[in-house]
Chains A and B, each alone.
Chain A
């Protein structure tokens, strides 16, 4: 193996080209080999045998956005802890106290989010049923 640090990443690039070719090949092959007999009904979105009402470009629950934001916070926290964990044996107890302060700050935010009810998916008082319009109003997307 060449004596270069970046050379250990070259196989990752080769692997990426290979798996890209495999994925592309599978899609192309099944498109070429499979037959194509299209009818209007066959090309409709699936809806248990009846004509679908509206399309899927509608509003959905804000909870999904909140979860995505929380995920970014906690995943970044986890990634910050990785380098700390790797050199922890050199930091010893100093590293422990430093980490404890950091985790307590994060924990404070976590408790706040919990008390606010972001983590409750079906609390009776937070789950008002609001009739959504069939399509979101123009310009709201």
Chain B
């Protein structure tokens, strides 16, 4: 087989494996959220389908597929159908540049644990997530319903407002690492400060991390920034008119975006796949230890998401916009100036 065919086959195989794992993880993130929020509210969460309700995501998926697919009469059909597809496709797209670990070894065969190592990976990621606002905006507009339109307007304004702060907050990390490649950013975080503190960007850049985390919550429309689907006033926001699988696709996109945001946070601020070496494990599983640490850190991010959902109330819309523009943006700018001043003065 020629090398290019091998290359294409290998990357297609990697994409398929990553997408399957990601979609499964998304389904179980929903399960985890229902379970954890349930316990926080002194309920059980799903318990009926399978042990601990573990088959609940499967049952939900089947139910969604079998439901009646209603397309209301006065929608603009091409965009109405395209909007959920745009949302899901772009959400699944951004995982392609995320590295999960060093090299995966199966006997003598070894391949990087990443679909593709693009040297401007961070820009690709930001670009793909920026386009995701189209899914929301087009869904609300093409539905031709007042609730959908208001929901999508709010969602678009919120997403673009916080995207400015999100983009600025990452510059502090770029100043430290001097690269846009996610792999190099992670490798720059190996080792320790003062011999005991992991050399994570979180410690020098905790202000940037705070801005990033807040903006990320707003970008993914999660509580306390879930105004696009403020059910007390807007029914369900931009997906009011959607039913069946198209409705589910918006949720899949939302949870996939949570994973992407958690991946970026882990890679940029928490040392990616670096963690304590587990030397007691057999050689066969040693190459999967970085994957384990990466997955563990992402799990902690997701738990934080759910925890905050179980804790905080929703912002008011004017508070939301004021917070994004008048608090986060100046903080992010100040962080850039201070970080670059420090690096400029200490670099010989």
Show the binding face of A for B, using Cβ within 8 Å: 1-2, 7-12, 14-16, 18-20, 22-24, 26-27, 29-31, 33-38, 42-48, 52, 55-58, 60, 63-64, 67-68, 70-71, 74-75, 77-79, 81-82, 85-89, 92-93, 95-96, 99-100, 103, 106-107, 110, 114, 119-122
Q: How far is the CA of A93 from the CA of B66 in the complex (A)?
A: 63
Q: Write the nearest CB–CB distance from B348 to chain A, whole angstroms.
A: 9
Query: Given that A11-B116, A16-B93 are contacting pairs, would A34 and B244 also be in contact in the complex, using a CB cutoff of 8 Å?
Result: yes
Q: How far is the CA of A7 from the CA of B4 in the complex (A)?
A: 9
From the candidates A23, A56, A82, A122, name the one contacting B318 in the complex (CB within 8 A). A122
- B92 to A10, Cβ gap below 8 A? no
Q: A15-B115, A68-B156, A70-B161 are in contact. List 20 more A-B contacts (CB 8 A).
A: A1-B7, A2-B4, A8-B118, A23-B84, A26-B245, A27-B246, A30-B64, A44-B72, A45-B72, A45-B144, A45-B146, A46-B240, A56-B145, A67-B157, A75-B167, A89-B178, A93-B345, A106-B333, A114-B325, A121-B318
Query: Which residues of A lie under 8 Å from residue B130 when comparing CB positions?
Result: 75
- B180 to A86, Cβ gap below 8 A? yes
From the candidates B68, B85, B317, name the one contacting A27 in the complex (CB within 8 A). B85
Query: Which residues of B lie under 8 Å from residue A46 when comparing CB positions?
Result: 145, 147, 235, 240-241
From the candidates B89, B164, B337, name the one contacting A103 in the complex (CB within 8 A). B337
B168 at interface (Cβ–Cβ under 8 A)? yes
Query: Which residues of B lie under 8 Å from residue A30 when comparing CB positions?
Result: 64-65, 67, 69, 244-246
Chain B 125-138 per-residue mask, 1 if CB under 8 angstroms from chain A, else 0: 00000100000000
Nearest-CB residue, chain A, relative to B319: A121
A-B contact pairs, 12 of them (CB 8 A): A16-B89, A29-B245, A30-B244, A30-B246, A34-B68, A45-B144, A56-B141, A56-B144, A68-B157, A86-B180, A93-B344, A100-B337
B16 at interface (Cβ–Cβ under 8 A)? yes
- B153 to A60, Cβ gap below 8 A? yes
Chain B 1-33 per-residue mask, 1 if CB under 8 angstroms from chain A, else 0: 001100110011011100100000000000000
Q: How far is the CA of A15 from the CA of B341 in the complex (A)?
A: 40
Nearest-CB residue, chain A, relative to B341: A96
- A12 to B147, Cβ gap below 8 A? no
Q: Which 9 A-B pairs have the closest CB atoms?
A: A30-B245, A78-B167, A121-B318, A11-B116, A71-B160, A85-B174, A11-B11, A74-B164, A45-B145
Residue among B117, B145, B322 with most chain A CB within 10 A: B145
Query: Which residues of A lie under 8 Å from residue B145 when comparing CB positions?
Result: 45-47, 52, 56
- A19 to B143, Cβ gap below 8 A? no
Q: How far is the CA of A79 from the CA of B122 in the complex (A)?
A: 11
Q: How far is the CA of A55 from the CA of B321 in the complex (A)?
A: 27
Query: Given that A45-B74, A86-B179 are contacting pairs, would A18 and B16 also be in contact in the complex, using a CB cutoff of 8 Å?
Result: yes
Query: Which residues of B lie under 8 Å from residue A55 when comparing CB positions?
Result: 74, 144
B124 at interface (Cβ–Cβ under 8 A)? yes
- B15 to A15, Cβ gap below 8 A? yes
From the candidates B117, B123, B149, name the one contacting A82 in the complex (CB within 8 A). B123
Show the binding face of B for A, using Cβ within 8 Å: 3-4, 7-8, 11-12, 14-16, 19, 64-74, 81, 84-86, 88-89, 92-93, 96-97, 115-119, 123-124, 130, 141, 143-150, 153, 156-157, 160-161, 163-164, 167-168, 171, 174-175, 178-180, 235, 240-241, 244-246, 249, 317-318, 321-322, 325-326, 329-330, 333, 336-337, 340-341, 343-345, 347
- A71 to B163, Cβ gap below 8 A? yes
Query: Which residues of B lie under 8 Å from residue A52 when comparing CB positions?
Result: 145-146
Query: Which residues of B lie under 8 Å from residue A7 when comparing CB positions?
Result: 7
- A119 to B153, Cβ gap below 8 A? no
Nearest-CB residue, chain B, relative to A106: B333
Query: Which residues of B lie under 8 Å from residue A110 when comparing CB positions?
Result: 329-330
Query: Which residues of A lie under 8 Å from residue B174 when comparing CB positions?
Result: 82, 85-86
Nearest-CB residue, chain A, relative to B149: A56
- A2 to B7, Cβ gap below 8 A? yes
Q: Write the nearest CB–CB distance from B223 to chain A, whole angstroms.
A: 20
